[in-house]
Amino acid sequence: MSNAMFCYQCQEASKNIGCTVLGVCGKTAEVANLQDLLIYLLKGISFWGTRGRDMGVIHPETDLFVAQTLFTTITNANFDSDRFIEYIREAIDRRETLREEAQIRCEELHGNPCTGTGPDWAGWKPESYEIDALLEKATQVGVMMDKNLDADIRSLRELIVYGLKGMAAYTEHAYVLGKRDSELLYFMQDMLEATTNNDLMPEELTGLVLKTGEMGLRAMALLDKANTEAFGHPEPTQVYLGVRPGPGILVSGHDLLDLDELLQQTQGTGINVYTHCEMLPAQAYPAFKKYEHFAGNYGGSWWGQREEFESFGGPILMTTNCIVKPKDSYINRLFTSGQAGYPGCTHIPDRKPGDQKDFSAIIELAKTCSDPEPLEEKTITTGFAHHTVLEHADAVADAVQSGDIQRFVVMGGCDGRQKTRQYYSDVAEALAEDTVILTAGCAKYRYNKLDLGSINGIPRILDAGQCNDSYSLIRTAQALAEAFEVENVNDLPISYNITWYEQKAVIVLLALLHLGIRKIRVGPTLPAFLSPNVVSVLVKNFDLKPIGSVNEDISAMMAGQ
């Protein structure tokens, strides 16, 4: 009997092999298969997009559509079958418009009729858009459908696709804030097209994996510029974890523009606005500090939201990925926005050009809700993005040269539900008092409430922000290399112990590999989509390592191994 689905793109893939009945994330087989079909059709858009571009046929809105819909397939982003059916319909419409114009242009240039629909992904159309018709096709185009495909080629192709998904998320966030880079959009199509090219062997695909990392770094830099130009450079900030009197709205996900517009629309309403999980770093941006009703951070990592959202009592705005199947007790209070979606939740329509999103439904609901129940009473620190660290580069360099700081440990990335992630809490507690942790992403919730003290006024946990802000960790390492006049960042007293969950962490890893950074530990497991031979190549060329025991890993990192 064939599997109902197959997905192994996230760290919690069943048995570290793949989900075949229901996603551990909660994704149904229906949604998983529709996502497979959407990716298949995006490769069809890329077939005509890459060829059309060579002839001057460029559709910017379709180029952006490819990035946006890649984003929708990231783990824990969108669970709504109806939305995916609409994406599939739009993908085919856009592909056909692009194909027709490309063929007309081809005939104009060469004088001969240009006909045909290309390979199946570039020409297939459903008999109808009924769910059964789409699912029939979807079950034929998934990751494992080609039984004869070489395992290493499949692994490298999927590594590229998952890297593109992470890149698409960063690029879409930048585009929302008005920052454009068409080369990123073109590259996504080039790589989707490359994953269909049977002439590309493992060595060539490995080169494209590293190129994906290079372009991923470019996307991170674009988003960093977009965020800081719109909201200022993050500042070291003490964030309150308690609650205030009055009703509240809780904002989760990653989208800072959604937060900004909600803060504007709730001014003077008596409603407090709180951040959750990956929105915590928003507390450090100067642009948001002017809002007196910007109350603090509520709760912790994404996987605890079922209890936290229930106790919050008010409406929750989920701006991007990180949704967990809601409880009935609060599903009517959960709103989605942008690329996020969940059946039974109200989705906020996209903003029209020149206008803000309309959050009035959330605001009106908040007015009828009780005050949030307090979870804890303390503060934590965030806001140590690269701008702040670079401003204090001399002090950091002095602390290293004097021996007060012996090593930096980068422990950025994603958090997750598995109990084995206690490893990261244990590492943080066991590290010597002369080490500093550099972090970004929700992985920090494993240790950011620990009192680890400081070194010469430098906190031992430097939180650069969201997973979207991993670029700050890279810039910090590059700045330290400049300060110590070291040509190779591998010669710095920095160790990398990365925790991954979804595809934004994948593109961060590829960016680090592109930069030639070696001896990266990855956990709590290596990705299921990496074949044994691909793992061997990464180990041989980059000394990539799985995590081991806490004490052994700390000893090795302190020794530069």
pLDDT for 2 equals 74
Confidence grade of residue 451 (pLDDT, cut at 50, 70, 90)? very high
506 vs 212: CA distance, rounded Å: 10
Buried b (16+ CB within 10 A) or exposed e, 486-518: eeebbebbbbbbbbbbbbbbbbbbbbbbbbebb
- Asked if the model's pLDDT at residue 202 lies above 90, the reply is yes
Name the more confident of 544 and 468. Answer: 544
Please count the other Cβ atoms lying within 10 Å of the Cβ belonging to residue 181.
16
- What 3-state class would DSSP assign to 23? coil
Amino acid at the residue 380:
I
Q: In the chain, where are the structural domains located?
A: 14-229, 237-367, 381-558
Q: What is the CATH number of domain 237-367?
A: 3.40.50.2030
Is it true that 14-229 and 381-558 share their CATH fold? no
The model's pLDDT over 389-407, given as tens digits with 9 standing for 90+, comes to 988 888 898 999 999 999 9
314 Cβ contact partners less than 8 Å away, ≥ 6 residues apart: 247, 248, 249, 250, 333, 365, 366, 369, 370, 372
Please count the other Cβ atoms lying within 10 Å of the Cβ belonging to residue 456.
11
- Asked if the model's pLDDT at residue 207 lies above 90, the reply is yes
Q: pTM for the whole thing?
A: 0.97
Distance of CA 447 to the CA centre of its chain: 21
Whether residue 524 is preceded by a cis peptide bond, meaning omega within 30 degrees of 0, is yes
- Asked if the model's pLDDT at residue 381 lies above 60, the reply is yes
Asked whether 219 and 171 are in contact (CB, 8 A), the reply is yes
Tokens 């989605």 map to which residue?
336
pLDDT for 392 equals 86
Confidence grade of residue 1 (pLDDT, cut at 50, 70, 90)? very low
Which alpha helices (DSSP H) does 368-469 contain, by range? Answer: 386-391, 393-401, 422-430
Q: What mean pLDDT is predicted for residues 291-306? A: 97
Tokens of 35: 């996502």
Confidence grade of residue 114 (pLDDT, cut at 50, 70, 90)? confident
Q: What mean pLDDT is predicted for residues 274-285? A: 98
Confidence grade of residue 305 (pLDDT, cut at 50, 70, 90)? very high
- Asked if the model's pLDDT at residue 555 lies above 60, the reply is yes
CA atoms within 13 A on the CB side of 261: 19
Average pLDDT, the chain: 96
519 Cβ contact partners less than 8 Å away, ≥ 6 residues apart: 490, 495, 496, 543, 545, 560, 561
- Asked if the model's pLDDT at residue 209 lies above 80, the reply is yes
pLDDT for 310 equals 97
Selection from 418, 410, 447, 436 nearest residue 522 by Cα: 410
- Asked if the model's pLDDT at residue 363 lies above 50, the reply is yes
Distance of CA 345 to the CA centre of its chain: 22
Confidence grade of residue 482 (pLDDT, cut at 50, 70, 90)? confident
Tokens of 6: 């197959």
150 vs 202: CA distance, rounded Å: 9
- Please state which CATH class domain 14-229 belongs to: mainly alpha
432 vs 558: CA distance, rounded Å: 9
Tokens of 167: 């890149």
Amino acid at the residue 312:
F
Domain 381-558 coded CATH 3.40.30.10: no
Amino acid at the residue 491:
D
151 vs 154: CA distance, rounded Å: 5
- Asked if the model's pLDDT at residue 480 lies above 80, the reply is yes
Q: What mean pLDDT is predicted for residues 378-394? A: 92
Confidence grade of residue 474 (pLDDT, cut at 50, 70, 90)? very high
pLDDT for 479 equals 86
Helix axes 29-54, 131-138, angle to 10 degrees: 70
Asked whether 471 and 383 are in contact (CB, 8 A), the reply is no
Tokens 């999927």 map to which residue?
158
